[in-house]
Each structure stands twice: as structure tokens, then as C-alpha cells.
Amino acid sequence: MIDDKIFRAYDIRGITGQDIDNNFAFYLGKSFGTLLRREKPDARKASVGRDVRLSSKNLATYIIKGMISMGINVCDIGLCPTPLQYFSMYHLDLDGGIMVTGSHNPPEYNGFKLSIGKDTIFGEEIQKIRKIIEERSWKEFPVLGQIANFDIISAYHDFMVRRFSYLSGEEYRKIKVVVDAGNGTAGLVVTVVLEAMGCEVIRLYCEPDGRFPNHHPDPTVPENLKDLIRITEEKGADIGVGYDGDADRIGVIDSSGNIVWGDQLMIILSRDILKRVPGAAIIGDVKCSQVVFDDVERNGGRAIMWKTGHSLVKDKMKQEGAVLAGEFSGHIFIADDYYGYDDALYATFRLIEIMKKTGLGLQELLADIPHMYYTPEIRVDCPEDQKKARVESLVKRCKDYSLSGSGPLLIKKIYDIDGARVIFEKGWGLVRSSNTQPSIVMRFEAEDEQSLTLYRSFLEEELKKAKADAEAGAGVEKR
Ligand SMILES: [Zn+2]
């Protein structure tokens, strides 16, 4: 029996030993091989990478067994950051691949990011995988696939050194960087490339350790950035960089110890890109500051707001031909001179390239953006099976409120592409269900502190009512 809830919007994820085990991984490998052959009949080669979690090695071994039983030749790239698994598909021209990773989730979790062709699959494609497993609808291939090991870390390292080592020249500003890999996989790669770029690197928790003994590898939670902030300040560094467990999310600290969120990084990167690619499409997720979208437009770009979720963003980038996309949570996707997937290591190199070329620090690069008051991501616990109903009820409530026009707050617009992003007079609030955790995520931004509090309490109150709606099972008509 497989629990439905592990097949999520853009990956497959669950508690190890409870939702997913080696057996599941074996069948997932078979199911993936089946779907790969169905959708790409001449597909022969795929890669499998894994993160540092204690269960990842076994899960990867069993996935590979499943894949070779379907006649797929597997390139085993071993322990590496998620972006290096993406990189392997381009570098080795593969037909797809699987990354075994629990990303930033609690240690008891693990999961899988699946790619067919060069695209990570989501939504319906993930449901196809579920169906194939449930129906055991695979036809074993007469010949077993081969397994070959490949050192992707060296290949990626060489690629990045070729691209960025020119910055080690005397003419560029020296930069001191603190790197906090949170004992995830980023430490395997990033520090060496930074040194080749002529940076002075201070290492923090760069040894991979799947128990995450120092802090949890999730740089979106300020608590996890405490050490990085302290050391960046103490050492007088220009920038502090943290990564999530599989290095597809970045967390940045400026020289004064302030957190520079993903959407602010987008401003720095988009300004640089728009100088060279005028009119380019740039995507921000629904959690991003309004300042990002305004800044992109002001600099001649085409700003697009889209759903949160790495596979969804990558898909939208292709549709729009976007050169850059980013999520507030630190997934940064660069298709300008690169492959367009979320690679927090590559984003680091590009940021430092900008700092070196302009000679400016992060604060100076962001000095002219309007000052806004905002919250980080606020997570409210919510059982998996309640999330959808609560958010739907909330969206409906906000729409009703807006239409009635009788309340004390003016709602100017509601974007319902992913939960509700409610635009008020002086700011906005977002309520959406998390695709990765049993929680509802909120975020707020406003021109002044008073409005921020007002918008937050309004939506928190509406969410409570939506919870009651969902629990009563009475739908949203009851209001
Ligand atoms: Zn991640």
C-alpha cells in the first residue's frame, strides 16, 4: 500500500521507513524506467544522484536496481548537490534522471526529484508514476541496463572554473565570503570554485553529515542563519552564503549581518541581465516582493508572477522564454548563459561576479530600492488533507469580502494562481498551502509597519474562519 500524499505537486516525498523504503525505491526506479521509455521511446541513459541523508545511499541503490531492470543504463553520480544532477543531464546528454533528496525537510524525510528529458516532472506526470507503481504495469526489458560511475563534481568544478576564474585577476575587487553548507552537499563544490575566483573563503559546516549536527539546512528559517550572520560580521566578510541540504536554495547575508532574501537577490541579478538582454522575461513566485516586479518593469524587463515550486517555475520559464526566475525561498533559476535550473551554487558565482565587476557590496547594490516592511515565511501547521479545503475557502472568503466592499480594508486585487495573494492599498498578503510540508504558508509586505500588522491580522483572522469552514465540512457558503 502506498500513501497518496507522497506524490506531491512537484516531487515525491515522505517519511523514511514509514512512507518510503528501499522496496518503494526499487519500484519507483521501475516505474520511472517505464514512463521514460513510454515518453521517449529511444531513451537509454539516465543519471542518479543522492544527497547526504543517512537513507539516501540505500534508496539510490534500489532505484538504480529498478531502473536497470527496465534496460536503462544508469550513470551513478553518487553524493552531490541537486543542481549537479541537473548539470549531469546536460553535460552527459542524458535522457533523464533521478535525484534522491530530502532537500530542506526534517531529517526523517527523504524524497525524489524526477526528470524526463531535461525537465523535472510535476503534476500529472507524477501521478502517472504513481499509477504505474500501483498497477505494476511494467514490462521488464530483456537486457539489464549497465551501471557506470561518473565523477560529476570534477566535471562541474572544471566547467565553473573555466567560466569564472577570470575574476581572480588583480583588477577585480577582493571578496571575503563565509560559506555555511549546513553539513549538506554544497560544501563539496562551492568553496573550491570560490577560491578559484580569487575569493577568501571561510568555511562553516562544509563537511557533509546527514545528521545535520549544527543546524538544520534550511536557509529560509532565520534561526538557521544565526551562525552565518555572526561569523560574517565577526570576520568582516563581504557576504555570507548558506544553502539548503541539496544546494538548490540559497540564503545570503550582507556585510552588516542582514538577511538578503531571494527576491532581493533577484533584483541584483535581473538588473545585471537586463543590461545585456533588454526586454527579457523574468519570473518571480507569488511570495516575491512587489518591488521585484516593479524593478524588472522599470529596467525594461517583462515581469511575470507565477506559482511557487521548482518544477512549475522551470516549466513557466520555458513557456515564456524567461532568462531568470526566482523564488523568495532562495531557488534562483538562471537561463542567461546557463541551463535555467535552480542552482544555488551558480547563483552564488553570478552574485560574486557582479560584486567583483561593479566593485559594490550587496547593500550598495540594493541601496536605491524602496524600503518595505515585510515578514519572512510564516508557517501554520495544517494536516495534509485539510490544506486544500482551507486555502480554497480562504480564497473564496477574500473574493466575497472584496466584492462586498463593506469591510474596513480595501482589497485592490486578488491573484489566485497559487493560494491567494491579496493586494491591499499599501501592500499585500499571501496565503497558500505548502507543497512540501503539512502547513499553510503566509507572507506579508507593506509600506509601513501599521499596514503590515493590519493586513496580517486580517488574513490570519480569515484563515481561522476558513479552518472552521473546512472542519465543519460545510463548505464556504456558511459565512
Ligand atoms: Zn533543496
Residue 5 DSSP symbol: G
Mean pLDDT, the chain, integer: 94
Q: Is the pLDDT of residue 474 over 60?
A: no
Whether 430 has a pLDDT exceeding 90, the answer reads: yes
pLDDT at position 141:
83
Gap from CA of 405 to ligand 1 centroid (Å): 41
The reported pLDDT for the residue numbered 407 is 78
> Among this protein's residues, is 103 annotated catalytic?
yes
Distance from Cα 86 to the centre of ligand 1, integer Å: 13
CA distance 280 to 317: 11
pLDDT in tens, 28-48: 999 999 999 999 999 999 999
> So what's the pLDDT on residue 338?
98
pLDDT at 476 over 60: no
Phi, psi of 196 (to 5 degrees): -65, -20
Distance 82 CA to ligand 1 centre (A): 7
List, in sequence order, every residue forming a beta bridge with 428; answer none if it has no partner.
423, 445
Is 406's pLDDT higher than 90?
A: no
Give the integer Cα–Cα distance in Å for 148 and 42: 19
- Catalytic residue, candidates 103, 270, 329, 393: 103
Write out the residues surrounding ion ligand 1, Cβ under 5 A: 103, 244, 246, 248
Please provide the DSSP assignment of 210-267 as one string.
TT--SS-S-TTSGGGGHHHHHHHHHTT-SEEEEE-TTSSSEEEEETTS-EE-HHHHHH
Please tell me the distance between residue 310's alpha carbon and the centre of ligand 1 in angstroms: 9
Report how far apart, in Å, the C-alpha atoms of 8 and of each of 101, 124, 305, 474 are. 14, 10, 22, 26
pLDDT given for residue 8 in this prediction = 86
Place 443 in a pLDDT band, splitting at 50, 70 and 90: very high
**What is the per-residue pLDDT across 218-246, written as a single tens digit (0 to 9) for each?**
998 999 999 999 999 999 999 999 999 99
Q: At what angle do helices 262-276 and 344-358 cross, to 10 degrees?
A: 60
pTM: 0.94
CA of residue 75 to ligand 1 center, whole Å: 21
CA of 249 to the centre of ligand 1 (A): 6
Label residue 1 by pLDDT band (50, 70, 90). low
pLDDT of residue 384: 86
**Confidence label for 300 from pLDDT (cuts 50, 70 and 90):** very high
Residue 281 pLDDT > 50, yes or no? yes
Query: How far apart are alpha carbons 352 and 111 in whole angstroms?
Result: 31
| Alpha-carbon dihedral sign for residues 291, 296, 300, 301 | negative
What type of residue sits at position 29?
G
**Looking at residue 331, what is its pLDDT?**
97
Ligand 1 centre from 113 Cα, in Å? 10
Percent pLDDT > 70 in the chain is: 99
Tens-digit pLDDT profile for residues 77-131: 999 999 999 999 999 999 999 999 999 988 899 999 999 999 999 999 999 999 9
pLDDT at 4 over 80: no
